[in-house]
């Protein structure tokens, strides 16, 4: 659009101001103004003007002069260029036939009295309606106009004459991560891919960005590494399908209620969250989400799923009068037990799942929670092997020596069963304490390790690669350590909330490099030692001998931490006993017995 057309449009629209308080704009004053008295506008949305374009225009100005005058407005220290900054720059780059600079001394201008709003209107129409406008300049211009005028996206779209979805997508480019913005400038990343990446939070953008390019493998010393081939993107359909599969979580299939307000510390329910497709429909194509509402924050979705299980355990425990940790977690389709759940070798499902609903009910059944992916979070009725149920757990036959397993009286059996249950409660309580204690021990030991050893000889490139490799190995083979220890302590050291994700390839290495050097050393320590003392399956207590050895090596007071944690976690009725225990530990008294809340006979055997 030419300046004359812009000027005509602005002159017509100024008089039609919504408040009807502004007078008809006066005719512009034509002047030849010294080039040095002109200055670029701070609100000009066009920030990328190529040198080649300037040189080409300068050559044209040399032979034909400036055909269209600049639109300017007077300021205290000169004149602000409203339209024509590229011509102003080219006028200062004119050269003679010998290549010597011969800039124009004066430049033809139309001097206007314009408000900030009128300036923005002219600049938006002059710069953002060009076919060759850079998408990042367009994004900046829309953001500037939105902020200056205080309008929403709908009003902004009407103002610039573009569809609301188009404007919304361009605005999102302003939050695009730096790596992607640079790739756009370098013409490596097509705009359609950049628009897709920009829809998400920066942390998720980093993950998606790591998948956008094709990769090539090469040997780096003894390792075979993959690195992206800039400029060679994977097919767009495959790219979107990867995002739909790995980033989006359909809220209609969430294991928790999307209206729940007790699954996040801030009480935000999914139905009111802005990080979902339903809250930003204009950003997504209809064939991408259709009528389905999907979560755009995988970390939050996972955290809510975990919190949902915790809340259900508390609800069931309160109804049953037991500790929440005594409510079993069950994998209904798994035979073997896991670290934190029971399989069918220890729990028979009676109801609540597709499996086992034809089994006979019994008086020993208890409520459990299914963590099988297809039935995640559902309440089950199960009969535990430890219950001694005669219906679901048949008595063992006499052994080879002819002795029967039922040699004691009914009273003795009942007493033994009661003691067994008390011992189990004692084990669960001590397992709960041990998990908190070992993480605190690891924290202090890692900090001591970092201060004691300065691994300065390991290069700034190699060490993050080593750490990223350890991280990925842990995520595939020891994810419980990664989650329970490393990701628990990292936020405190880094000062960030949320899930710290390390992806495959170069993006994962770059993520590690965002950590300070001393924190990198601590993470290495945790990845090596964090598995020690981890809980056994079914919340069973595990030996803490290795954790105590580590504490001694780095002069961490294990006994004191243990006593402090017991006092923090115990119920009010046990507070007095644990306070006395902590006082005795602080006083360095010898042979102080740890309070046994449920069973004196339980032996940790470590």
Q: Quick one: 543 and 429 in the same domain?
A: yes
For 283-328, how does the pLDDT look when each residue is reduced to its tens digit (9 = 90+)? Answer: 876 656 545 788 988 889 989 999 999 999 999 999 988 899 899 9
Rounded Cα distance between 589 and 481, Å, is 34
Which domain covers residue 7, as residue numbers?
Answer: 3-133
Q: Quick one: 446 and 556 in the same domain?
A: yes
Q: Are strands 38-40 and 78-83 parallel, antiparallel or unpaired?
A: parallel
Total count of domains within the chain = 3
Q: Quick one: 401 and 544 in the same domain?
A: no
Rounded Cα distance between 429 and 595, Å, is 11
The two tokens of residue 36 are 């040095």
Distances (CA, A) of 173 to 78, 143, 345: 34, 10, 53
> Could you tell me the CATH number of the domain that includes residue 25?
3.90.1530.10
**Domain contains 505:** yes
Q: Quick one: 386 and 527 in the same domain?
A: no
Q: Quick one: 349 and 430 in the same domain?
A: no
Q: Quick one: 485 and 378 in the same domain?
A: no
348: pLDDT strictly greater than 80: yes
**pLDDT recorded at residue 240:** 87
Q: Quick one: 430 and 480 in the same domain?
A: yes
395: pLDDT strictly greater than 80: no
**pLDDT recorded at residue 402:** 45
Rounded Cα distance between 183 and 194, Å, is 9
Q: Quick one: 395 and 438 in the same domain?
A: no
Give, for 223, the enclosing helix (H) or strand (E): strand 223-233
Rounded Cα distance between 214 and 232, Å, is 6
Please report which confidence band the pLDDT of residue 357 belongs to, taking 50, 70 and 90 as the band edges: low
Q: Quick one: 442 and 516 in the same domain?
A: yes
402 or 341: which carries more pLDDT confidence? 341
Please report which confidence band the pLDDT of residue 22 belongs to, taking 50, 70 and 90 as the band edges: very low
Please report which confidence band the pLDDT of residue 268 belongs to, taking 50, 70 and 90 as the band edges: very high
Q: Quick one: 532 and 444 in the same domain?
A: yes
**pLDDT recorded at residue 408:** 43
- DSSP secondary structure string for all residues of 518-587: HHHHHHHHHHHHTTTT--BGGGB----HHHHHHHHHTT--HHHHHHHHHHHHS-GGGHHHHHHHHHHHHT
Query: Which of 133, 156, 174 is the last residue in one of the domains?
Result: 133
Q: Quick one: 369 and 491 in the same domain?
A: no
For 458-489, how does the pLDDT look when each residue is reduced to its tens digit (9 = 90+)? Answer: 556 777 888 888 787 777 666 667 777 888 88
**Domain contains 322:** no
| Most confident option among 274-278, 286-290, 562-566 | 562-566
600: pLDDT strictly greater than 70: yes
> How many other C-beta atoms are found inside a 10 Å radius of the C-beta of residue 267?
10
351 or 87: which carries more pLDDT confidence? 87
**Domain contains 88:** yes
**Domain contains 323:** no
Query: Which of 76, 108, 133 is the last residue in one of the domains?
Result: 133
Averaged confidence pLDDT in the chain: 81
Query: Which of 372, 407, 442 is the last residue in one of the domains?
Result: 407
**Domain contains 194:** no
Q: Quick one: 454 and 538 in the same domain?
A: yes
**Domain contains 149:** no
**Domain contains 415:** no
Rounded Cα distance between 351 and 358, Å, is 8
**pLDDT recorded at residue 407:** 41
**pLDDT recorded at residue 4:** 43
- Predicted TM-score of the model (pTM): 0.49
**Domain contains 211:** no
**Range with the lowest mean pLDDT among 316-330, 420-434, 455-469, 587-601?**
455-469
């Amino acid at each position: 659009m030419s300046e004359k057309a812009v000027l005509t449009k602005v002159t017509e629209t100024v008089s039609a101001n919504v408040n009807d308080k502004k007078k008809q704009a006066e005719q512009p004053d034509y002047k030849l103004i010294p080039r040095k008295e002109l200055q670029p506008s701070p609100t000009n949305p066009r920030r990328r003007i190529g040198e080649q374009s300037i040189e080409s225009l300068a050559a044209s100005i040399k032979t034909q002069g400036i055909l269209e005058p600049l639109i300017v407005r007077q300021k205290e220290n000169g004149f602000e260029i409203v339209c024509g900054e590229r011509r102003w720059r080219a006028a200062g780059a004119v050269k003679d036939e010998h290549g010597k600079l011969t800039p124009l001394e004066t430049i033809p201008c139309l001097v206007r009295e314009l408000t900030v709003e009128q300036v923005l209107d002219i600049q938006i129409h002059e710069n953002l309606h060009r076919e060759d406008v850079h998408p990042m300049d367009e994004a900046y211009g829309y953001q500037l106009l939105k902020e200056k005028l205080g309008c929403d996206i709908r009003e902004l779209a009407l103002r610039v004459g573009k569809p609301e979805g188009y404007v919304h997508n361009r605005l999102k480019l302003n939050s695009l991560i730096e790596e992607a913005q640079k790739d756009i400038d370098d013409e490596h990343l097509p705009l359609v891919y950049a628009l897709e990446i920009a829809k998400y939070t920066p942390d998720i953008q980093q993950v998606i960005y790591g998948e956008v390019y094709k990769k090539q493998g090469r040997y780096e010393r003894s390792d075979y590494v993959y690195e992206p081939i800039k400029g060679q993107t994977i097919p767009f359909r495959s790219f979107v399908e990867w995002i739909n599969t790995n980033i989006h979580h359909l809220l209609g299939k969430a294991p928790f209620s999307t209206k729940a307000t007790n699954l996040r510390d801030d009480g935000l329910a999914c139905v009111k969250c802005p990080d979902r497709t339903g809250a930003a429909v204009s950003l997504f194509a209809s064939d991408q989400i259709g009528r389905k509402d999907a979560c755009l924050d995988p970390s939050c979705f996972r955290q809510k799923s975990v919190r949902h299980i915790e809340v259900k355990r508390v609800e069931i425990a309160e109804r049953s009068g037991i500790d929440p940790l005594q409510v079993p977690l069950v994998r209904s389709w798994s035979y073997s037990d896991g670290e934190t759940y029971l399989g069918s070798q220890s729990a028979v499902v009676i109801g609540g799942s597709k499996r086992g609903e034809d089994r006979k009910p019994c008086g020993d059944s208890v409520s459990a929670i299914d963590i099988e992916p297809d039935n995640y979070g559902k309440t089950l009725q199960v009969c535990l092997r430890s219950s001694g149920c005669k219906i679901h757990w048949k008595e063992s036959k006499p052994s080879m020596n002819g002795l029967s397993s039922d040699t004691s009286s009914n009273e003795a059996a009942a007493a033994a069963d009661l003691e067994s249950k008390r011992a189990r409660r004692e084990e669960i309580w001590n397992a709960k304490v041990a998990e908190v204690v070992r993480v605190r021990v690891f924290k202090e030991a890692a900090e001591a390790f970092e201060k004691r050893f300065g691994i300065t000889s390991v290069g700034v490139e190699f060490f993050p690669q080593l750490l990223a490799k350890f991280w990925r190995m842990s995520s595939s083979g020891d994810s419980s350590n990664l989650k329970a220890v490393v990701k628990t302590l990292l936020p405190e050291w880094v000062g960030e909330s949320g899930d710290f994700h390390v992806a495959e390839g170069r993006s994962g290495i770059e993520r590690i490099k965002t950590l300070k050097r001393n924190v990198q050393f601590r993470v290495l320590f945790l990845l090596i030692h964090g598995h020690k003392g981890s809980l056994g399956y079914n919340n069973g207590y595990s030996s803490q001998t290795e954790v105590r050895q580590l504490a001694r090596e780095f002069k961490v007071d294990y006994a004191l931490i243990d006593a402090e944690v017991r006092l923090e976690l115990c119920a009010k009725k046990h507070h007095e006993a644990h306070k006395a225990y902590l006082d005795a530990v602080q006083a360095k008294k010898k042979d102080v017995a740890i309070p046994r809340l449920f069973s004196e006979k339980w032996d940790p055997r470590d």
